[in-house]
Amino acid sequence: MSNSAMRYAVLKLNDTLEFVEMPGTHMYQLTALNRRLHKEIEKLTAHNVPALPSVIAECDNLELVSTSYTVTGGLDYINKLETTFAAIKESAYPLISLLTEIRALQAQLEQWYEEYEEENV
């Protein structure tokens, strides 16, 4: 996949870094979603609320020089996020609203990757 259409998010949870590759056109949505999740997650009362990394940086190019890190694809990251939040045992707002936002970005990314693959066959 051509990296020219991609941007990278650097996420941090405690001392752990995670790198996520997103279509440049959707990176702002990931950052906004991450901020909203952080704002709302403390309102959840369930016992299985996940620890959520924060987006600490975005960049156009990323070259990892350490083999101890990998880059996660945007759709893979959003799919994991959706699975994690869907497993929370709570049915009240804000969880329903947060899942709706996660799934909206998930659907947009699925469409983006389908169109990208069609254009580059």
- Do 12 and 53 form a contact (C-beta atoms < 8 A)? yes
**Is residue 1 pLDDT above 70, yes or no?**
no
Domain count, the chain: 1
Sequence-ordered list of residues with C-beta below 8 angstroms from that of 7, at least 6 positions apart, any chain: 21, 22, 23, 24, 27, 58, 59, 60
Mean pLDDT score, 33-56:
91
Which domain, by its residues, includes 8? Answer: 3-119
Name the amino acid, one letter, at 66: S
pLDDT band at 79 (very low <50, low <70, confident <90, very high): very high
The better pLDDT of the pair 116, 17 is held by 17
pTM recorded for the entire structure: 0.89
Task: For 45, list phi and psi in degrees, rounded to 5.
Answer: -110, -5
Each as own residue / partner, the long-range contacts of residues 107-111 (CB below 8 Å, 24 or more positions apart, any chain) are 108/26, 108/29, 109/22, 109/23, 109/26, 109/74, 109/75, 109/78, 110/75
**Coil/strand/helix, residue 14:** coil
